[in-house]
Amino acid sequence: MPLDNQSDNRSSATQAKEIDVLVVGAGFAGLYLLHRLSKLGLAVRAFEAGGGVGGTWYWNRYPGARCDVESMQYSFGFSEELQQNWQWSELFSAQPEILSYANHVADRFDLRRFITLNARVNTAIFDEASARWRVHSSTGETVVACYVVMATGCLSTGRVPDFPGIETFEGRTFHTGEWPHEPVDFAGRRVAVIGTGSSAIQAIPVIAEQAAHVTVFQRTPNYSIPSRNGPMTCEYETEWKTEYAVRRETARHTRNGILYDLNDKSALDDTPEQRERTYAERWQKGGVRFMAAYNDLALNQASNDTAADFVRARIREIVKDWAVAELLCPKDYPIGTKRICVDTNFFAAFNRPNVGLVDVRNEAIQAITPAGVRQGGRDYAVDDIVFATGFDAMTGALTRVDICGRNGQILAAKWEAGPRTYLGLMTAGFPNLFMITGPGSPSVLSNMIVSIEQHVDWIADCLAEMRKRDLGCIEPTAEAEEAWVAHVNEVAHRTLYPKAASWYMGANIPGKPRVFLPYIGGVGAYRQKCDDVAANGYEGFVMAPAVTMAK
């Protein structure tokens, strides 16, 4: 009898008793995995918790949601036909267009047949005797697979702080990362937005245009650069499409997978007047290229200060109310060490008469009451609360699944003091379990589609090689993992990044260990390392012959 004894007509593959690879998640990572692995002739399936494909772009439907890496770059490079045919309407596309793109990819490469939607994976248990994973989903279905790939996303586990009284609130509540599918009308309503990270920075100016009043509760001010978004011009698109192959390849070897004009000198090598001109030019062009104004902004505090001063001066210029401007100016961490934000009219929104700012750094939100938010002994009456409170980043989606490896070891327990991986791809004690953009890889510090493609290609090549050599089990050694964790830490501490209490450090989740989660050595250097590991016979991994499963 098939293990999948639930009749489910959503996927023709659901009758498989045992498959080669189970993919968890159908965002960009899951989609590309299904494409690459099915092309290898492997029997694949995917479980996706959401009701559609697209991951981040399926869930994050809040007003103003869009990418902050330009669409010509924040898109797949694996198919020349795809990248030539697809047309983006804006420089930085909005969520609905990116979601359409994900759906187009699913259809174009005929991937839906592998995907079961509305299926959350709850447990995955490794059976040592058969070297197979037994994976259980919320649909009640169990799948047996040789390999499991967690394509569960780095920013897919939303977090709402447990404010006292939250359940008593009588109005509507929203989390930016789990936004309703039907349009939300804020017209005439008093809205609280809690948080001022990337999502809030995008949402606040758009909500403010509709709502009667918006009260923004800010714990940590953020540096944000204007995006200068606009319609895609024919010339710009043609320029990119003519040189796509070369540009994509170049981006793969850069520091963060994004092509922009890095000014390869120290900020301290320029005079203050030259620096001002350089920053002003980049501010005018907009976007994350601001951080490439000099090559040492992430490394040297004095250099970093010059860029941070420039951005603070712009905030003070834009925001008319002196006290509000001061609150919006980040002052206690270097620019870029928390995710740099990219906005459209964020700071200017605070000049509107219907937008107010409340500082919750020194006096935290005391409670959510039936009528609104209580802070500093004052009650803010609101109709709606938008939680822009971020995610349990990088590890949340992995540790929330009950993953049980060798000797009954649970992944969440192994990672109690912080995640430990080899190359961010695998973790010792959990054979045949891969992660995409996992902790210890460049991941969220990069153009994530570049990093996703690199991980998927590496895993696909690895599985093809194992099949060729009749191998069926792969696992990193404890020593290789130890050395990689030490290297990830060592490189992070050569930079200014650990100075910020950021989600890169797990600082936004109470009780989460403070460990720098992504690998900061650069996308290009990291790719080279992964390629070298493979070329050296998968150095640091133990590979063993396949076990034939008893029928």
Ligand X SMILES: Cc1cc2nc3c(=O)[nH]c(=O)nc-3n(C[C@H](O)[C@H](O)[C@H](O)COP(=O)(O)OP(=O)(O)OC[C@H]3O[C@@H](n4cnc5c(N)ncnc54)[C@H](O)[C@@H]3O)c2cc1C
Q: Which residues contribute to the site for ligand X (CB under 6 A)? A: 24-30, 47-50, 55-56, 58, 60, 65, 67-69, 74, 120-121, 151-156, 199, 397, 401, 436-437, 447-448, 452
Find out whether 123 and 404 touch, Cβ atoms under 8 Å: yes
* Residue whose CB is less far from ligand X, 151 or 192: 151
* Residue whose CB is less far from ligand X, 306 or 502: 502
* Residue whose CB is less far from ligand X, 63 or 153: 153
Smallest gap, in angstroms, from Cβ of residue 188 to ligand X? 27
- In degrees rounded to 5, what are phi and psi of residue 433? -115, 110
- Looking at 221-293, list the stretches that DSSP marks H as alpha helix, in order from N- to C-terminal side: 234-242, 244-251, 272-285
- In degrees rounded to 5, what are phi and psi of residue 83? -70, -25
Contacts of 210 by beta carbon, 8 Å cutoff, 6+ apart: 63, 185, 186, 187
* Residue whose CB is less far from ligand X, 298 or 342: 342
Smallest gap, in angstroms, from Cβ of residue 63 to ligand X? 12
* Residue whose CB is less far from ligand X, 58 or 458: 58
Smallest gap, in angstroms, from Cβ of residue 59 to ligand X? 6
* Residue whose CB is less far from ligand X, 291 or 329: 291
d(CA 543, CA 165): 52
**Minimal CA–CA distance to 46: which of 63, 60, 27, 59?**
27
* Residue whose CB is less far from ligand X, 144 or 436: 436
What sign for the dihedral angle of Cα 515, 520, 525, 526?
positive
Smallest gap, in angstroms, from Cβ of residue 200 to ligand X? 10
Smallest gap, in angstroms, from Cβ of residue 24 to ligand X? 5
The CA–CA distances, whole Å, from 459 to 183, 427, 465, 485 equal 39, 14, 10, 20
Smallest gap, in angstroms, from Cβ of residue 78 to ligand X? 14
What residue type is assigned to position 73 of the chain? Q
What residue type is assigned to position 494 of the chain? R
* Residue whose CB is less far from ligand X, 197 or 540: 197
In this structure, the number of other CB atoms found within 10 A of the CB of residue 135 comes to 23
- In degrees rounded to 5, what are phi and psi of residue 87? -120, 130
* Residue whose CB is less far from ligand X, 176 or 369: 176
327: left (phi over 0), alpha (psi -120 to 50) or beta: alpha
The CA–CA distances, whole Å, from 379 to 192, 324, 370, 376 equal 12, 20, 11, 8
Torsion of CA 64, 68, 72, 73, to 10 degrees: -150
Smallest gap, in angstroms, from Cβ of residue 511 to ligand X? 21
Bridge partners of residue 136, in order along the sequence: 123, 142
Q: Which helix (H) or strand (E) holds 425?
A: none
Smallest gap, in angstroms, from Cβ of residue 238 to ligand X? 23
Smallest gap, in angstroms, from Cβ of residue 452 to ligand X? 6
